[in-house]
A and B are shown apart, each in its own frame.
Chain A
């Protein structure tokens, strides 16, 4: 019987990052993936001839540069091409187009409000100041403020030092920012509704919060703390779709000797004498290892694959209480030609196009969701990667990714059905058609995914894209819950490395890298044996 140093459950990009770091440190690693393809929510799929879909995640920014370098990802095929605009078409006057170039952006924004065009500098600076605080925390294990271990105290000191450099006002700002609503925050800077709406988009993506819900400002920060080549807050397209991120990481892991098996669903973690020792697969096979690492979200980790008798009741309850509300859907569309959005210049079609031109629009979209309906007029985050990446669609044709907010996992009127999925897809296409009249005629193929589909296909509980809500009660030393926030669990030799751990979701790799560091520490300290 084979025995591994580490068995990783799930080949999401985080599981693969953990595998790569462990393998590079000389450990014998096995990754077991339920699906026929690796990558979890970072995958590329060909569902229509000639087209490649980034079927879940679609844009890249959060992936930590430290990881790209450590694992030499460009050599394994990773290339990220930044895009430079975000725009918002509207029925009320001119669309808003925001550009990467400061002069161009100011000129464009001032069509809506000269004051906002100027306030934007201050606004983005404030966000960058907030990022400066959070960035050093991303690649570190969150220190536990209740522990008196040296490592935790040292971590807290480091945090304190970053905090201490900030000046009193900034510290207040940080505390305020982490808890306030994005609507309140934007009101402090902007007067134009469309400017606020376009800025608020990133604060509602993937969350079950509305723009007026406290805590939504942090979600915005979560989308801002990435970078492309040092450009903070910039986003780009991974060449070949988001699957190439996973493929590159897997390449690095395999090169270092890790094995990756697909169509190998783990049904249970095998626990002996209070210690995780292996996993059982759906076909009855058992795989043994010293460290067992779960890339699954906290609910699946603690409530599905870990037999309940091995968990303290309190932890079981914490896992049950963990907030992981699905709220997003996705359409992947093959188009016969480039659609023309009302009033948008060509450049704007090469970046993000957001539908939702006022905070009221976004909040109403949220209202429908609260009561168990998909938004009748949803917020859409649209990109057409084929405008930049020639590998995504045949020449002249285009692949469009439509991220939809809000879509409930549980509908008020009973379970999801094929008809409802169809009706949901129609709502989205009708919404796009309002800004793009001949849109339907261009559609060659369309894949519609609800949170229910995301759960069943990708294994995201309730379809939550972040493996759990990004609110202060579930961040840092609270993620996923106190006492389990340092990638270790109450079961010995059983670890977590997915987005349900610090610093959270997105194609970031940080949870995976941090988990690997803690696991290696335990190998070294002979805690793991």
Chain B
């Protein structure tokens, strides 16, 4: 009488029906696909036609109440006053030491109505920091199902499906719409760095949406994908992943492993000028005054074509960091990585050495090659924002 302890997403039946690879993993207590049929096909769907990825397990907090805007402004590092209704904000949020707890997307649904999309559970932190504010914070994750449609044909497919007004929907904007008389929120957001949208619906409408999308997409090579292909795309897009590229301040056992937004390359998302205190402001102000940040999360282009997974990076003989995410990019035809390195080595153009261990017919070989610091994102097609 032991219960099933991983949840199925609202799309599970549909995905399982086409997941011939039977390759599953966990995502926040849910069963999700690593790949459905073939990782390469799925990856190229993202860059070549249109991909469909189930993002239902994302954690979503709804923040409402008279003080909602004031509270969110205190929570995040960006300035909420500048976030229009119907806009999506990518933003980190920090602890009092100015160390990043997480990064995520904030949807402003109304004057005093927000949706915070997160990868980790934050309710405890949100409720604690909401003390004294007239706000209600609810975990609405299970009330909203989501599909991410990404790729050069994403817009075409969604228009073919009958979703109106997409041509006018700018990057990082939301639209509330209806299709077949069912409510749907469309956001022009995603984790691939490509043209793409996320469709948010009631869980009960999941099969309907899936079937509609697949029917409309049949002519355009729309392909459901798993997390492996997505991960390739997100690295190319330079998006960082909590507990992969950095440890959340909440989860770090050692204080030295916590990172500030500056140390993660997210300085652009910190607004020190906004009115009043936000969590971490004092520490971030002090950090800004000091010279270079202690650590930096940078992009690397690496010689050769061996993916530099968990590789150490050297400046001469000095070890200065290691890679946190690394792939061979099929689109760029480049060997790329996100790496955590010493702050004084982080200037774009800096030439470094990297030690890569790679398996070769049951042997492990070591190669020492050159690499250089480059700007993230690695891949940023104009269509993303067009």
B26 to A, closest residue via Cβ: A103
Interface residues on A, range: 20 to 34
Q: In the complex, A117 Cα to B1 Cα: how many Å?
A: 23
**B7 neighbours in A (Cβ, 8 Å):** 107
Asked whether A67 is an interface residue with its Cβ less than 8 Å from the other chain, the reply is no
Is A122 in contact with B124, judged by CB distance below 8 angstroms?
Answer: yes
B42 to chain A, nearest CB (A): 25
With A106-B29, A122-B250, A166-B255 given, is the CB distance from A345 to B124 under 8 Å?
A: no
| A102 to chain B: closest residue by CB | B29
Given A114-B139, A125-B251, A128-B253, answer yes or no on A107-B124 (Cβ-Cβ < 8 Å). Answer: no
State whether the Cβ of B5 lies closer than 8 Å to any Cβ in chain A.
yes
Q: Chain A binding site: helix, strand, loop or mixed by DSSP?
A: helix
Q: Does A104 contact B (CB under 8 A)?
A: yes
A125 and B121 CA atoms in complex are apart in Å by 14
Are B5 and A103 within 8 A (Cβ)?
yes
Chain B residues with Cβ below 8 Å from A129 are: 253
A165 touches B250 (CB 8 A): no
Complex CA distance for A106 and B141, rounded to whole angstroms: 14
List which A159-200 residues lie within 8 A (CB) of chain B: 165-167, 169-170, 189
Q: Which of chain A's residues have a CB closer than 8 A to the CB of B282?
A: none
| Min C-beta distance of A121 to chain B, whole Å | 7
A48 interfacial contact with B, CB 8 Å: no
Whether the pair B26, A106 counts as a contact (CB closer than 8 A) is no
Query: B121 — which chain A residues lie within 8 A by C-beta?
Result: 106, 117-118, 121
For the complex formed, measure the closest distance between the CB of A452 and the CB atoms of chain B, giving whole angstroms: 41
Q: Closest residue of chain A to B5, judged by CB?
A: A104
Nearest opposing residue in chain A for B252, CB measure: A125
Residues from 89 to 121 in A contacting B, C-beta threshold 8 Å: 99, 101, 103-104, 106-108, 114-119, 121
Q: Does any Cβ of B come within 8 Å of A371's Cβ?
A: no
**Please, how many angstroms separate the alpha-carbon atoms of A114 and B127 in the complex?**
11
Asked if B139 contacts A165 (CB within 8 A), the reply is no
* Complex interface: chain B residues within 8 A of A125 (CB): 250-251, 253
- Shortest C-beta distance, A166 to chain B (Å), equals 7
- Cβ–Cβ contact B124 & A118, under 8 A: yes
Tell me, yes or no, whether B317 is within 8 Å of chain A by CB.
Answer: no
Give residues 121-176 of A contacting B (CB, 8 Å).
Answer: 121-122, 125, 128-129, 132, 165-167, 169-170
A165–B256 touching, CB < 8 Å: yes
B112-145 interface (Cβ within 8 A of A): 121-125, 127, 139
B250 touches A103 (CB 8 A): no
CB contact under 8 A between A107 and B29, given known A346-B1, A347-B2: yes
A345 and B2 contact, Cβ closer than 8 Å, known pairs A114-B123, A121-B121: yes
B 243-278 contacts with A by CB, 8 A: 250-251, 253-256
Complex Cα–Cα for A501 and B28 (A) = 44
The residue in A114, A116, A118, A166 that gathers the most chain B C-beta atoms within 10 A of its C-beta is A118
Q: Do residues A115 and B26 form an inter-chain contact, with CB atoms below 8 A?
A: no
CB-contact partner of B250 in A106, A121, A132, A166, under 8 A: A121
Q: A103-B5, A107-B29, A345-B2 are in contact. Are A115 and B253 (CB under 8 A)?
A: no
Within 8 A of A (CB), among B3-38: 3, 5-7, 26, 28-29
A121 to B254, CA, bound (A): 15
* Alpha-carbon distance A137/B256, docked complex (angstroms): 21
B127's nearest neighbour on chain A, judged by CB, is A115
Q: How far is the CA of A117 from the CA of B5 in the complex (A)?
A: 15
A165 close to B254 (CB less than 8 A): yes
What is the interface of chain B, defined by CB distance below 8 A to chain A? 1-3, 5-7, 26, 28-29, 97, 121-125, 127, 139, 250-251, 253-256
> What are 25 sample pairs from A and B whose C-beta atoms fall under 8 A apart?
A99-B5, A103-B5, A103-B26, A103-B28, A104-B5, A104-B29, A107-B29, A108-B5, A114-B139, A115-B124, A116-B124, A118-B123, A119-B124, A121-B121, A121-B251, A122-B124, A122-B250, A129-B253, A132-B253, A165-B255, A166-B255, A167-B255, A345-B1, A346-B2, A347-B2
5 more contacts with CB within 8 A, not counting A118-B123, A345-B3, are A103-B29, A121-B124, A165-B254, A169-B97, A345-B2
Q: Please list the residues of chain A having a beta carbon within 8 angstroms of any beta carbon in chain B.
A: 99, 101, 103-104, 106-108, 114-119, 121-122, 125, 128-129, 132, 165-167, 169-170, 189, 345-347
Which 4 pairs across A and B sit closest by C-beta, in order of nearness?
A119-B124, A103-B29, A104-B5, A167-B255
